[in-house]
Structure 1
């Protein structure tokens, strides 16, 4: 499969924007108390801030990702951890309870794990192609 670097660069930028804009929007710039109350282990305001930082890291390497293959492996592992955490959370909790407390927080909890699974697959795809020197 021949993929242009420009397309993958856009994927890194999109991953970063999803983290940055998604957290800032749904947390109402860290003022939404329902998100951290719902999952204080991963989604405290500090945790949300770190998600924003990860977003900036994705964007920072978007044009030279092919030169930092092991960092892409780290991104892959990071997304796998968040996606797995979300999957466990979603199996043990009722999203309707969160939606009743705050629609923005509920929407956040509906989509963040799907987003993380999607970008886990993206980063894994990129890592495998870079390691095989197909990019």
Structure 2
């Protein structure tokens, strides 16, 4: 495993750990403010699924080249969450969330940025593993 592969592996681990921070922001699913402001996507079940996605990212950190299409799925998943966040930010007032709960406000302020950054990361890894930039 070369330095670039180690860096990519760390990216998968970091992405997974970032998803696991939902446990902190949600106070292990006891913070009712997060689901209150987005009861469909950020229900306690939705937050649990974010944790599961994070574990999936970590699980392939050292074998990502073997599952390049799964990496593409990760990029799609992150783009969906990024889109949902942008839409949420345009339709809601995050300062209201901060007034009710600082942790929920922080969560809503940053989760989409995180998802968009890792969407780009997964997309770049997918491109690298498929060699689609190389001309035959």
User: Residues 79-115 of structure 1, C-alpha deviation per residue, up to 9 Å, x if partnerless?
Assistant: 0000000000001100100000100000000000000
Q: How does 1:47-62 map to 2 (within 5 A)?
A: 47-62=46-61
Gaps in structure 2 of 5+ consecutive residues:
none
In structure 1, the residue matched to 2:45 is 46
The normalised TM-score by structure 1 is 0.95
Instruction: Give the Cα separation in 2 of the matches to 1:96 and 1:133.
Output: 43
Alignment coverage as a number of residue pairs: 132
Instruction: Give the Cα separation in 1 of the matches to 2:80 and 2:17.
Output: 19
The normalised TM-score by structure 2 is 0.94
Structure 1 stretch 91-100 or stretch 125-134: which is displaced more? 125-134
1:110 equivalent in alignment to 2:109:
yes
Instruction: Give the Cα separation in 2 of the matches to 1:50 and 1:105.
Output: 17
Instruction: Give the Cα separation in 2 of the matches to 1:118 and 1:41.
Output: 23
RMSD between aligned residues: 1.5
Instruction: Give the Cα separation in 1 of the matches to 2:132 and 2:27.
Output: 41
Instruction: Give the Cα separation in 2 of the matches to 1:101 and 1:58.
Output: 32
Matched residue SS, 2:29 = coil
In structure 2, the residue matched to 1:132 is 131
Residue 44 (structure 1) shift: 0.1
In structure 2, the residue matched to 1:30 is 29
1:72 equivalent in alignment to 2:65:
no
User: Residues 36-91 of structure 1, C-alpha deviation per residue, up to 9 Å, x if partnerless?
Assistant: 01101100000000000000000000000011000001000000000000000001
Gaps in structure 1 of 5+ consecutive residues:
none
Residue 3 (structure 1) shift: 6.7
In structure 2, the residue matched to 1:14 is 14
Residue 133 (structure 1) shift: 7.4
In structure 1, the residue matched to 2:122 is 123
